Structure formats: structure tokens, C-alpha cells
Structure 1
Amino acid sequence: MPPTSRTLSARQTALLDAWLPGAVTVRDHSWGVVGTTVLQLRHGDRDVIVKAGDDADTHLTRELRAHREWLAPWRGSAPELLHADDDAKLLVTRYLPGTLVEDHPAEADPETYRQAGRLLADLHDQPGATDPGYETRMRARAVRHLDGPHRIDPATEERLRAEVTSWPDGPASLVPTHGDWQPRNWLVHDGVVAVIDFGRADLRPAHTDLCRLAVQQFRGRPDLEAAFLDGYGRDPRDPAAWRRELLREAISTAVWAYGVGDEAFERQGHRMVVEALDG
């Protein structure tokens, strides 16, 4: 197995040797920002995707839960799980053909968003749960982010703290969500959209899956938003809850990006903060 000690633990390598004897590396798809290794391997006459987490990884557990509990409605539109070991933080899926929608002409095509809306509705329409402590936890999380290191200016931080601490307690209806719903996690193949990367999948309010699109692709493109909602079948955003979510997303983006040294993403986070406060 070519990908050995530099990227995978000895246990992960041994498991892959047992599951995929003779496999060779085609491409390394790892981002290099978080400790998850993503490799495309060829085993026999088919390609597979390997995801391996390091000791600090928290994404593989979420990804495995999504594959086991929530992806049935997406059969054929999401990678199929072939092998997994929870303790080793390792999974193997079938390679899903296609090109990333991000930076592809499909990213500007309303039909892409109509299909993405339909796929997301299929995910969200599965059984969920009511969480009585959701708003309390999310408020506390936003405060923790503001308490940590960041480069949000003091006046803006003061405005954020005043609003965040005023948020109400209360329950929220949660559904299975992708957690990073945007074109960098969509593939297009022969005009058909499919979905990858479930490392942030969890039970959350449905509207949380619209946050990334709202601050990126939908800006200045109401036609894309309209096509998405047409595919989804409704608009899941309650105005007050949506404002809270946009502010939480903006704060976490600015703080997380600063922490990992991603200056471009940090700038986006600061823009999101300003737009959410003034929206």
C-alpha cells in the first residue's frame, strides 16, 4: 500500500492492506488544513475513496453516522460505504464520478441549485428530534468563540456580545443535515448533481444548511436562490432564528479561520459578521 507512514497510522495501513490488497494511489485529495487524509485509490478495476482521521479528528464519526443512518434517500447520489473501522477512524467508499461544482460552469447554473435543493429536501425530510437546549448551547458556543483569540475589532465584538447574550432560550426542531452544503461538496456528472463529504453531518435545524449558500453563491444571484427553494419545495428559514444562525456562522467562521491561518476565509468571516449585524 503506497500511502503509509507519512499520512496513515500503522493500523490504518494494515486495515487498508486487508481490505484493498494491491491498491495504488491515484490522487491525494486532502486539504491539509485539518487532520483528515483523503486518498483516491485504484483497487482492481475500480476506484475508491479512503478517509482517515488523525488522533484529533472528529469528522469521521459524523461521516460514518451519516452513511449508516441518513444517506438512504441519496442512493446513487452519494458515495457508497464499503469498509469502515470506527476505532481506527478509517472508512472506504466507492469513488463517485464527476467534477466539483465549485469553479465549474455549473456553479452559475440555476439547474444545479434546483437539483441541490431537491437533494437537501430528501435529507431533511427524514425523522429528526426536538432539542430543548439547542438555543442555550448555541448561545454559549458563540460566546466561547468570542472569548477565544480572533481579530474581530472591539466595537464589532461589543455589538456581537450584546446581541448574542440577548438571544432567547428555547427548543429547536432538528433534522439530519449535511453541515457544509455548498458547491465544493457537490459533484456534477452528465448534468446530474451528487453530494460528497459528510464530516460535518449532524442533527440541526434545517435552515443551517442554507447558511454557506446565503453568504456566497446567493449573493447577487436571486435566481440561484429561487431555483434552490423551488427544488427544496419551501423556505425553511424563520426570520429570527435565521438571523441568529447567520450571526453564529459569521462568528465561528472568523474565529476558526483565524485559528488555522486561512486569511481569505477569515476575511469572508469578517464580511459575514458585518452583513449579519446590519441585515
Structure 2
Amino acid sequence: MTSASLLPSGLRAWAQRQVGPITAVRDVSRLRPGSRVWELSLDGGRPGVFLKAASGVVAYQRESFAYRHAVPALGPQAAPQLVESSARHLALLLTAIPGRPLAALDVPRAARYEAYRQAGVLLGWLHAAGDLRGEHRVEAGEALQCAARGVEKRLTAAGDRVRAAERRLVLRLAGDLLRLGPLPLGFLHGDAWERNLIWSGRTGWVDFSRARFGACVQDFVPMYCTAWAEDPGLRAAVLRGYGRELSSEEEYALMCLSALDAVGCLAWGVPNGDHALVERGRAVLARLEAQAV
């Protein structure tokens, strides 16, 4: 065990004040910068909990808000529930849900389709769960514009990893995103990749550190860029669970957002050695070019 995997004494003391004596600690952090998560075993045979230290103030605020105000709508078997949080430690104590990440499982095709169908059901519930009033509606209504206006920063970070023709295409799609009319708004998971999709025969979602208010279609970008491209049947399964098809405006927004996501993949993936992320970004840009949008 490395020093980075050890549970800091201050965090351990805080956690024990909330849940009682801790009998064992297991580091279950992901292999990515800023991930610090531990599984805590408790005495007396009580169910264990997870202790998550957020990567920063914004991530902590997003996740703690999500667990208090929207995630309970999914139910205790479909998403972790908040035990307690600490702004001082930027930490959350969370209940466990059954299952493992779908990305780590080799399941039959029918089970995979069912997992995605249920994922769509849960996203529909989540999108409807947030209190979309006041500043939250403003945040949601400006989400696509904020994404589009951040394209130059992403392109600068990606540098010459994005070819001139790709750059022109991405800039055009970002401009189109600014001109789209109003789209359905809701409370987003914000990171709806298969790694956060838990399967036990039932589907659950974890990791709400990027949860926020926005355009509902934004939550489908990760699947659009990966699973849906590989197997269109997964798209049908998700939307069947979600309860509606996407409008033509949402479809076009999805295409535009995928271009921004691809540039982000190249900007982050290359310097951080994430080859899978780089391949995903390049594949999305290649598909967009081939479509000659």
C-alpha cells in the first residue's frame, strides 16, 4: 500500500464520529488524478460505507447538492445515499449499492440491453428530480452556450492534436450550438459513462461529482460517443427506458456536443497517457468528418 492510498487521520477521525468504529479500510480509488475513495468496514456486522474525498470545492459542492436534492429520487438500490458530508474535509460518506461497474463485466447482450434500458429510466427520474427554478433554471438554460463558448480553450489545450480541418468543423458545430433554440432542461448526472453504471441484475448510477442543471441531452453525450456508436441497439434501449425519443434539435445538439467532447478527450488524454480517451476522441472526430455535417 502506498502513502497515497492511506486514509488520512483527519478523515478517519471525522468518519468514525459519524458511523462509529472502523474495522477495515480498502482503497478503491480510480486510476485517475484526484480520485480518493475508500471502502470502510464497520463493527457489529453493520453495512459498510464509502468515504469519498472530493477533488476540489466545486466537485464537493456539486456532489453534496446532488445527494441531498436529487439523487434520493432514484432510490437506495439505484444510487448511493448520503450519510453525512463535511465541507471542511470536502468529504462525503455514502451507502453502498449492489453490483459492479458494467464496464468491468462480461454480460450477455440481452442483459446489457436491459442494463441500458434501466439506465434510461433512472436518468429520466433524475432529470425530473431537481428544483428547476430561479438560479437553477438560469444555470440550465445557459449550459449549452457555456459549453460552446469554451471551445477555444479546449482547442488551445489540444493544440496540434486537432488538425486544421477538424478545428474548422468543431468551431462550426460550436457556433451552431449557440444558435439552437430552447431544449428540455433538467438535473444531470453529468458523467454518465459505463464506468459509473452499476449492474447487479438491476442498474444503479454512482459518482455525481459532475452533477448539475443543464440541457437533458447533455447526459447522453458519453453514450453517444461510445456505446451507441458501437451498438445502436443500446441507444434504443436507453431511450425506451427514458420514455421518449430525442427531438431533431436535441439530435443536432448531441452531434455538436460530441465534437466538443472529442477535443476535450485529446486535450486531456494525450498529456495524461489515457490512450483509450485519445482513441475515443479521434474516433468521434473521424465519424463527424465522414458525415460531412
Superposed pair shares fold, TM > 0.5: yes
Please state how far the C-alpha of 1:123 moved relative to its aligned partner.
0.8
Secondary structure in 1 matching 2:103: coil
CA distance in 2, matches of 1:142, 1:107: 39
CA offset digits 1:142-200 (Å, max 9, x no partner): 111112244223442243234434653565553101011132112222x1111111111
Number of residues of Structure 1 aligned to a counterpart in Structure 2: 276
Equivalent positions of 1:215-226 (< 5 A) are 215-226=225-236
Task: Say whether the 8 Å CA contact 2:155–2:167 is kept in structure 1.
Answer: yes
Secondary structure in 2 matching 1:91: strand
- In structure 2, the partner of 1:141 is 150
Task: Say whether the 8 Å CA contact 1:101–1:107 is kept in structure 2.
Answer: no
CA distance in 1, matches of 2:218, 2:195: 17
- In structure 2, the partner of 1:68 is 68
CA offset digits 1:199-254 (Å, max 9, x no partner): 11111111111111122222242222212111111123523322221112212222
Structure 2 residue 83 is matched with structure 1 residue 82: yes
Q: TM-score, normalised by structure 2?
A: 0.83
CA offset digits 1:6-52 (Å, max 9, x no partner): 64555323312322443133432111312131111101222111101
CA distance in 2, matches of 1:5, 1:231: 40
Equivalent positions of 1:104-119 (< 5 A) are 104-106=105-107, 108=109, 109-119=112-122
Structure 2 residue 48 is matched with structure 1 residue 47: yes
Call closer, same or farther: CA 1:6–1:240 in 2, change over 3 Å.
closer
Q: Which protein is richer in helix relative to its size? A: 2
Task: Say whether the 8 Å CA contact 1:143–1:164 is kept in structure 2.
Answer: no
- In structure 1, the partner of 2:259 is 247
Of residues 195, 203, 217 in structure 2, which corresponds to 1:193?
Answer: 203
Task: Say whether the 8 Å CA contact 1:206–1:236 is kept in structure 2.
Answer: no
Please state how far the C-alpha of 1:137 moved relative to its aligned partner.
2.0
The one-letter code of the counterpart of 1:97 is P
The gaps in structure 2 that reach 5 residues or longer are none
Equivalent positions of 1:84-233 (< 5 A) are 84-106=85-107, 108=109, 109-126=112-129, 127-128=131-132, 129-130=137-138, 131=140, 133-150=142-159, 151-165=161-175, 167-169=177-179, 173-189=184-200, 191-233=201-243
**Percent identity for Structure 1 against Structure 2:** 24
The one-letter code of the counterpart of 1:121 is G
- In structure 2, the partner of 1:262 is 274
CA distance in 1, matches of 2:24, 2:149: 43
CA distance in 2, matches of 1:57, 1:257: 23
- In structure 2, the partner of 1:35 is 34
Q: TM-score, normalised by structure 1?
A: 0.87
Select between 109-118 and 214-223 the one with higher mean Cα deviation: 214-223
Secondary structure in 2 matching 1:245: helix
Please state how far the C-alpha of 1:4 moved relative to its aligned partner.
8.1
Task: Say whether the 8 Å CA contact 1:135–1:171 is kept in structure 2.
Answer: no
Task: Say whether the 8 Å CA contact 2:102–2:199 is kept in structure 1.
Answer: yes
CA distance in 2, matches of 1:256, 1:226: 30
RMSD of the alignment, in Å? 2.6
Please state how far the C-alpha of 1:121 moved relative to its aligned partner.
0.7
Task: Say whether the 8 Å CA contact 1:36–1:57 is kept in structure 2.
Answer: no
Question: Structure 1: which 4+ aligned runs deviate by more than 4 Å?
Answer: 2-10, 169-173
